[in-house]
Amino acid sequence: MATILPRETIVSIILFTLLYSWKRLVGFVYLGVCFVCALMYGMVGLTYGHIDKNAIDALLYTNFNEAFEYATSIPPSVFGWYGSLILFFSAVVIFLKKHPQFLGDLNRKFLGLLIVLLVVFSGNTFVKNLFKGSPLHITDIKSTEVHFALSVYSALQDSSRGQNKYSIFNRSADWNATADGQAATNYVVILGESARRDFLESYGAPWNNTPWMSNEPGILFENYLSASAGTVPSLSRELYFNSDADNFNPAYNIITLAKSAGYRTVWISSQGERGGADSPISVVAKMSDEYDFVADDLNPLNKVIKKTDEDLLEPFKESLSRSGKKLIVLHLIGSHPQVCRRTDDKYTEYFHSKELSCYIESLRNTDHLAKEVTEALKAREAKHGEKWGLLFTSDHGLDFATDQNGWCLKHIDKRQGSYEVPFFIAGSEFKHREIVRSYRSGLDFLPLIASWMHISSPRLPSLPCHWFKDEVCANQETVYRYSGELINYHDLPSYSLQTFMNENP
């Protein structure tokens, strides 16, 4: 049974049966509360993932105009979910009203059995830990009711603690930005996923997996650090302006900045639209003039036809073919673990394990995608004279680990490699290859992008240094641990691919 229905759902059904057979009214109240919670969840959960501080802020601070603007961008699948929800609850209520004797007089043995099942399904991890003497966590109880109450409680606490007066739906930013005469017409940002730079040939890796990045004229940054070691902790800081400030306003981000300077903005992603805690990234993506989540997990077709980063190319070329100034962001699924899924189990060179071999291959695929994007930009320049700029980086690296299949790379925030990502800029203006060895921080990603796009705004701080010359800039060597602690990158131990190869010949 547990394979058909999630354990949490079985627990809810048993709980309802017990309450309803005890007192019908209590059963109906339980049903009503579930219905209201599901409605609320639909509003924020389906589009923004789990109930968190952002979701609560959204409910608390969203005004009518923002809500209306947002509602017009809700995908039809959400309405489908609401429709089925209302149908399901009405069907249950109508059935129970028509059959008042249903679940009316359950015998004691059956009730006893239900209680045992309730404990088994909801509490086996909890009970196991109790007997083993392991520390007990209330979150080990497998029950939607318990988890929902805990999430709402902690989200409310976070929300009331923060001074955040801006909802994630707020879109009005007064950047007053302008782009100067040197700005190009077409800018593309390729946001890679889980790419650790020492695995790239262009950063010294011993295999030929970056023919594009190793040869294309441009600037290679040797010491760019991602803001953190996970997609959300990194990008929720890099894509927004002053994300650490008390009065942080999500309307100030890379997309609204480019828009304010007159760029048409396009976000094309092969990542999930609302998977788990991806919310802060989807929020930025959805402020674009145009966005396309090619692998949208609510589209049933995507369960059958698996989407890859290659599928970003077609919508990219279509967006590029429009006239006028534009910023196109390509957010890849790239080298995310289990990476053999991304490469269809293929790899060119075997290196210690299948997973590491696919990892090298996935980076080769990313490089190939960047090459195709570059060629499209060059073709556009040749035909229409439109200057272009292309920036490639990754949200974070990964760290060496092992699992039952041997060596692999995992999301870990404990060593330097997890923060060491590639950063490469190409474009019409470059005839040679240059190298910047000074540190650059993902925490300054937005001001750096502004400089790159020749955008100025009274909101932006004055430049601490010339980002694109090999000059030392202040405060470029701090990173965020998962815990939210800001630390000096040099305080973390180093464990490079070279060290790994020396230890595992």
Q: Which stretch binds Zn ion (CB under 5 A): 63-71, 189-197, 369-377, 420-428?
A: 189-197
User: Contact region for Zn ion (CB under 5 A) — 24-32, 73-81, 190-198, 461-469?
Assistant: 190-198
Is there binding between residue 296 and Zn ion (CB under 5 A)?
no
Would you say 12 or 226 has its CB closer to Zn ion?
226
DSSP-derived pairing of the beta strands 326-331 and 186-192? parallel
How many residues touch Zn ion under the rule CB under 5 A: the total is 4
Task: Dig out the tokens for 408 from the structure.
Answer: 């692999």
| Cβ proximity to Zn ion, 11 vs 421, nearer residue | 421
Shortest distance in whole angstroms from residue 8 CB to Zn ion:
27
* Pair 267, 291: CB distance under 8 Å: yes
For residue 488, the SS3 value is strand
Name the pairing type of β-strands 218-221 and 423-427.
antiparallel
Using CA atoms, how far apart are residues 22 and 439, in angstroms rounded to an integer?
A: 66
Shortest distance in whole angstroms from residue 206 CB to Zn ion:
25
Give the list of residues 6+ apart from residue 161 with CB closer than 8 angstroms, or none: none
397, 195 contact by CB (below 8 A): yes
* Span near Zn ion by CB under 5 A; candidates 37-45, 128-136, 275-283, 387-395: 387-395
Binding segment (CB under 5 A) for Zn ion, from list 92-100, 186-194, 451-459, 491-499: 186-194
User: Does the footprint of Zn ion cover residue 395 (CB under 5 A)?
Assistant: yes
Q: Please, what is the minimum distance in Å from the beta carbon of residue 203 to Zn ion?
A: 18
Residue 299 Cβ vs Zn ion, minimum distance, rounded to whole Å:
22
Coil, helix or strand at residue 487: strand
In the complex, least distance from residue 418 CB atom to Zn ion, rounded to whole angstroms:
10
Scanning 135-143, 318-326, 393-401, 481-489 for contacts with Zn ion by CB under 5 A, the matching segment is: 393-401
Q: Smallest gap, in angstroms, from Cβ of residue 356 to Zn ion? A: 18
- The string of DSSP letters for 176-222 reads --EE-TT--SEEEEEEESS--GGGSGGGT-SS---HHHHHSSEEEES
Q: Which amino acid is at 396?
A: H
Alpha carbon separation from 481 to 13, 192, 300, 327, 505 (Å, rounded): 40, 20, 36, 30, 31
- Looking at residue 52, its amino acid is D
292 in contact with Zn ion (CB under 5 A): no
Q: Which is nearer to Zn ion, 388 or 445 (CB)?
A: 445
Looking at the Cβ atoms of 216 and 395, the one nearer to Zn ion is 395
Write out the DSSP string of 440-486. Answer: EEGGGHHHHHHHHTTEE-TTSPPPSS-TTTT---SS-SEEE-TTS-E
- Kindly write out the interface string for residues 10-49 of this chain, putting x where it contacts Zn ion by CB under 5 A and - elsewhere: ----------------------------------------
Write down the least CB distance from residue 193 to Zn ion, Å: 5
* C-alpha 483: how far from chain center: 17
Nearer to Zn ion, 53 or 331 (CB): 331
Residue 239: DSSP 8-state = S
Q: Establish if 231 lies at the interface with Zn ion (CB under 5 A).
A: yes
Nearest CA-CA partner of 250 in 165, 168, 174: 168
Return the number of the residue (193 or 296) whose C-beta is nearest Zn ion: 193
Instruction: Provide the mask over 191-230, with x wherever binding to Zn ion is found by CB under 5 A and - wherever it is not.
Output: --xx------------------------------------
Binding part of the chain for Zn ion, among 82-90, 185-193, 197-205, 398-406 by CB under 5 A, reads 185-193
Which residues of the chain form contacts with Zn ion (CB under 5 A)?
193-194, 231, 395
